[in-house]
Amino acid sequence: MIYLELFLSFVQIGLFSFGGGYAAMPLIQRQVVDAHGWLSMREFTDLITISQMTPGPVAINSATFVGIKIAGVPGALVATAGCILPSCIIVTVIARLYLRYRSMNMLQGVLNSLRPAVVAMIASAGISVLVSAFWGNDAVISLAGTNWSLVCIFLVSLILLQKFKWNPIVVMMLAGVLKLLAAVIGG
């Protein structure tokens, strides 16, 4: 039964995660944290971090991680298959249709109208992860409860990525080093 639940949950994620990995994060959170309770919000935040550090799409890495945690290697295979099956089918169909009708104004209009919704999904996921990182699982936002070392690491990382265009892998390694330094200095 757990295999079917994993498969169906990740089929939904694969089916409705338009816009890629970041857009899938709210869907993944809804399935694995809210609906099934397979992960806590803290574990979900760790999952997103791990998924970003490993090669491959966030949704597939998440499916593999959750599948292993819930039902071992067979669970990982089932969850991952569920996650990629809709994409394989949809991309095949869309590629054929797009190649045939790509010059139609209606098709271009539909594609343009999906962009704002995808941006909103990405922003929603980012805000959830940000709140969890800075204020913990309680999500009570207050100055006193803010983890200021993580806020500083976030700001440094953001500046290095946006202004100086550093390699994300280097920024992630630097963030880890900064957190270790903060832990050593702070006690």
Indicate if 97 and 27 belong to the same structural domain.
yes
Closest CA to 27 of 9, 8, 6: 9
Range of the domain at 159: 147-187
Indicate if 132 and 161 belong to the same structural domain.
no
Half-sphere exposure of 141 (CA within 13 A, CB side): 6
What Rg value do the Cα atoms of the chain yield, rounded? 19
Global confidence as pTM: 0.65
- The letter for the amino acid at 24 is A
Indicate if 19 and 105 belong to the same structural domain.
yes
Q: What is the pLDDT of residue 139?
A: 62
| Domain count along the chain | 2
Q: What is the pLDDT of residue 118?
A: 84
Paired tokens of 167: 């390699």
Indicate if 179 and 105 belong to the same structural domain.
no
DSSP, collapsed to helix, strand or coil, labels residue 187 as coil
Half-sphere exposure of 150 (CA within 13 A, CB side): 11
DSSP conformational letter for 39 = S
Q: Tokens 């270790």 label which residue? A: 180
For residue 32, what are the contacts with CB-CB under 8 A and spacing of at least 6? 9, 38, 39, 44, 47, 62, 66
Question: Which of 124 and 9 is assigned the larger pLDDT?
Answer: 9
Q: Tokens 């593999």 label which residue? A: 64
pLDDT tens per residue across span 110-166: 888 988 988 898 898 889 889 888 988 766 788 888 999 999 999 999 999 999 999
Q: What is the pLDDT of residue 137?
A: 72
Q: What is the pLDDT of residue 73?
A: 98
Indicate if 93 and 37 belong to the same structural domain.
yes
DSSP 148-170: HHHHHHHHHHHHHHHTS---HHH
DSSP 105-129: HHHHHHHHHHHHHHHHHHHHHHHHH
Indicate if 66 and 89 belong to the same structural domain.
yes
pLDDT tens per residue across span 67-90: 999 999 999 999 999 999 998 998
Longest dimension (CA), the chain: 63
Indicate if 136 and 174 belong to the same structural domain.
no
Q: Tokens 């940000």 label which residue? A: 130
Closest CA to 138 of 150, 151, 147: 147
What's the average model confidence in pLDDT over 28-41? 95
